[in-house]
A and B are shown apart, each in its own frame.
Chain A
Amino acid sequence: MSPMTQRSPFTVALIGNPNTGKSTLFMALAGVRQRVGNYPGVTVEKKLGRVRLGDRDCQLVDLPGTYSLAPRSPDEMVAVDVLLGRRDDLAAVDAVLSIVDASNLERNFYLLSQALELGLPTVVALNMVDIARTKGLKIDIQRLREQLGVPVIEVQANRRLGVDELKTALTEIANRRSADKQASAAPVISPFPAEFQREVARLQNALDQAHAGDSSVRAPAVTNSYHAPWPRYLVERLLLDTSGYLQTALLANGQVAPLDSELQAARKRLAAEGIMVPAVEAQARYAWVETVLRGVVQRPATRVVTLSDRVDRVLTNKLWGMLIFVVAMLLVFSSVFVAAEPLMRAIDTVIGTIGEAVADRLNEGPVRSLLVDGVIGGVGSVLVFLPQILILFFFLAVLEDCGYMARAAYLMDKLMVHVGLSGKSFIPMLSSFACAIPGVMATRVIENRRDRLTTILVTPLMSCSARLPVYTVLIGAFIPARRIAGGLLQLQGLTLFAMYAIGVITAAVVALVLKRTLLRGPTPPFVMELPSYKWPSPSIVLFRMADRGWSFVYRAGTLILAVSVIVWAASYYPHQSAEVDYRLAPRLAAIEEQQATLGTNSPQQAELAAEQADMEHAIAAAYQRDSYLGRLGQAIEPAVRPLGWDWRIGCAAIASFPAREVVMGALGVIYNLGSGVDVGEEADRDRLAGRMQAAVWDDTGEKVYNIPVALSIMVFFALCAQCASTLVVIRRETNSWRWPAFTFAYMTGLAYVGAFLTYQIGMRLPPF
Chain B
Amino acid sequence: MSVLADLPVGARGRISAIVGSDELSVRLLEMGLTPGVEVKVVGTAPLGDPLELELRGYRLSVRRSEAARVQLSS
Name A residues whose Cβ lies closer than 8 Å to a Cβ of B.
Answer: 67-68, 70, 72, 103-104, 106-107, 110, 135, 137, 242-243, 276-279, 281-283, 286, 299, 312-313, 316-319, 321-322, 406, 409-411, 413-415, 417, 423, 522, 524-532
Partner of B60, one of A106, A317, A321, A529: A529
23 A-B contacts (beta carbon < 8 Å): A72-B23, A107-B32, A110-B32, A135-B57, A243-B23, A276-B21, A282-B26, A286-B32, A316-B45, A316-B52, A317-B46, A319-B46, A321-B45, A321-B46, A410-B50, A410-B52, A411-B47, A414-B47, A415-B47, A417-B49, A522-B23, A527-B61, A529-B59
In the complex, whether B48 has a CB less than 8 A from a CB of chain A is: yes
Interface residues of B in 33-66 (CB under 8 A from A): 34-35, 37, 43, 45-50, 52, 56-63, 66
- CB within 8 Å of A: which B15-40 residues: 18, 21-32, 34-35, 37
A286 neighbours in B (Cβ, 8 Å): 32, 34, 37
The answer to whether A529 touches B31 (Cβ under 8 A) is yes
Complex CA gap A415/B45 in Å reads: 11
Report the minimal beta-carbon distance from B24 to chain A, rounded to whole angstroms: 5
Q: How large is the interface on B (under 10, 10 to 19, 20 to 34, 35 or more residues)?
A: 20 to 34
Whether B59 and A413, one on each chain, are in contact in the complex, defined by CB atoms closer than 8 angstroms, is no
Are B43 and A316 interface neighbours, CB within 8 A? Answer: yes
Give every chain B residue within 8 A of A526 (Cβ-Cβ).
50, 61-63, 66
Q: How far is the CA of A522 from the CA of B65 in the complex (A)?
A: 14
Query: Quick check: B34 and A282 within 8 Å, CB to CB?
Result: yes
Given A318-B46, A525-B23 in contact, is the A103-B57 Cβ separation under 8 Å?
Answer: yes
Please tell me if the beta carbons of B32 and A410 are within 8 angstroms of each other in the complex. Answer: no
In the complex formed, the residue of B with least CB distance to A114 is B30
- Taking a contact as CB atoms under 8 Å apart, the answer to whether A413 and B56 are in contact is no
CB of B65 to closest CB in A, whole Å: 8
Residues B45 and A406 in contact, CB atoms below 8 Å apart = no
How many contacting A-B pairs (Cβ < 8 A)?
Answer: 120
A413-B50 contact in complex given A103-B57, A312-B59, A526-B66, C-beta closer than 8 Å: yes
Contacting residues, chain B, for A276 (C-beta < 8 A): 21
Give Cα A275 to B2, complex, Å.
24
Question: Bound complex: CA of A107 vs CA of B25, how far in Å?
Answer: 16
Taking the closest CB of chain B, its distance from the CB of A654, in whole angstroms, is: 44
By a CB distance below 8 angstroms, the chain B residues around A414 are: 45, 47-50
List of A residues within 8 angstroms of B28 by Cβ: 525, 527
Query: Is B45 a contact partner of A410 (Cβ separation < 8 A)?
Result: yes
Question: Out of A70, A282, A413, which one reaches B63, CB within 8 Å?
Answer: A413
Most B CB contacts (10 A, CB to CB) among A107, A319, A322, A409 go to A107
Q: Is the CB of A282 within 8 A of B30?
A: yes
Cα of A277 to Cα of B29 in the assembled complex, Å: 12
Nearest A residue to B17 via CB reads A279
Q: Are A530 and B50 in contact (CB under 8 A)?
A: no
Cβ–Cβ < 8 Å partners of A524 in chain B: 23
Least Cβ–Cβ distance between A420 and chain B, in angstroms: 14
Residues of A contacting B32 with CB < 8 Å?
106-107, 110, 282, 286
B31–A530 contact, CB under 8 A? no
- A283 lies within 8 A of B57 (CB): no
The distance in angstroms between the C-alpha atoms of A532 and B62, with both chains bound, is 17
B57 cross-chain contacts in A, Cβ below 8 A:
103-104, 106-107, 135, 137, 299
The reply to whether B46 and A322 form a contact with Cβ atoms under 8 Å apart is yes
Q: Which of A67, A107, A135 contacts B56 (CB 8 A)?
A: A107
Q: Which residues of B contact A413 (CB under 8 A)?
A: 45, 47, 49-50, 61, 63
Question: Would B63 and A107 count as touching, CB distance under 8 A?
Answer: no
Least distance between A99 CB and chain B CB atoms (Å) = 16
Most buried by B among A68, A414, A417: A414
Chain A residues with CB under 8 Å of B26's CB are 70, 278, 282
B24 contact set on A, CB distance < 8 A = 525, 527
Contacts of A281 in B (CB 8 A): 29
Tell me if A283 and B35 are in contact (CB < 8 A). yes
Known: A243-B23, A312-B59. A527 touches B31 (CB 8 A): yes
Select which of B22, B60, B63, B66 is within 8 A of A530 by beta carbon: B60
Closest 7 CB pairs of A and B: A282-B29, A414-B47, A530-B59, A106-B56, A318-B46, A525-B27, A68-B30
Closest chain A CB from B14 CB (angstroms): 14
A245 to chain B, nearest CB (A): 10
Known: A410-B45, A414-B49, A525-B66. A279 touches B60 (CB 8 A): no
**A282 CB contacts on chain B under 8 angstroms:** 26, 29-30, 32, 34
Instruction: Give complex CA distance A103, B52 in Å.
Output: 18
Name the A residues within 8 Å of B66 (CB-CB). 525-527
Instruction: Report whether B61 and A410 are in contact in the complex, using a CB–CB cutoff of 8 Å.
Output: yes
Pick from B29, B31, B47, B59 the residue with the most CB of A within 10 Å.
B59
In the assembly, what is the distance between CA of A531 and CA of B63, in Å?
Answer: 17
A526 and B20 CA atoms in complex are apart in Å by: 16
Which of B31, B45, B59 makes the CB contact (< 8 A) with A67?
A: B31
Measured CB to CB, the nearest residue on chain B to A135 is B57
- Could you tell me the distance between the alpha carbons of A318 and B49 in the complex, rounded to whole angstroms? 11
- When the two chains form their complex, are residues B61 and A110 in contact, meaning their CB atoms are under 8 A apart? no
Bound-state Cα–Cα, A365 to B21, Å = 71
The residue of chain B having its C-beta at the shortest distance from the C-beta of A280 within the complex is B29
Task: Give chain B residues whose Cβ lies under 8 Å from the Cβ of A317.
Answer: 46
Select which of B47, B52, B62 is within 8 A of A527 by beta carbon: B62
- Give the Cβ gap from B56 to chain A, nearest Cβ, in Å: 4
- Provide the residues of chain A in CB contact with B43, threshold 8 Å: 313, 316
Contacts of A415 in B (CB 8 A): 47
Neighbour of A279 across the interface among B21, B31, B47, CB < 8 A: B21
Least CB distance from A108 to B in Å reads 9
What CA separation (Å) do A277 and B28 show in the bound complex?
14
- A68 and B27 CA atoms in complex are apart in Å by 9
Of chain B, the residue at the smallest CB distance from A530 is B59
A115: min CB distance to chain B, Å: 14
* A524→B66 CA distance, assembly (Å): 10
Check B52–A529 contact: CB distance below 8 A: no
| Cα A278 to Cα B27 with chains together (Å) | 11
Chain B residues, CB < 8 A from A318: 46
- Which residues of the other chain, B, contact A409 by a CB distance below 8 angstroms? 61
A679 to B49 CA separation, bound complex (whole angstroms): 45
Taking a contact as CB atoms under 8 Å apart, the answer to whether B61 and A104 are in contact is no
Q: How far is A529 from B61 in the complex, measured between Cα atoms in Å?
A: 6
B62: A residues at CB distance < 8 A: 526-528
The chain B residue sitting closest to A101, CB to CB, is B58
Interface centre among A137, A409, A410 (most CB of B within 10 A): A410
Cα(A110)–Cα(B34), bound, Å = 12
What is the bound-complex CA distance between A409 and B50, given in angstroms? 10
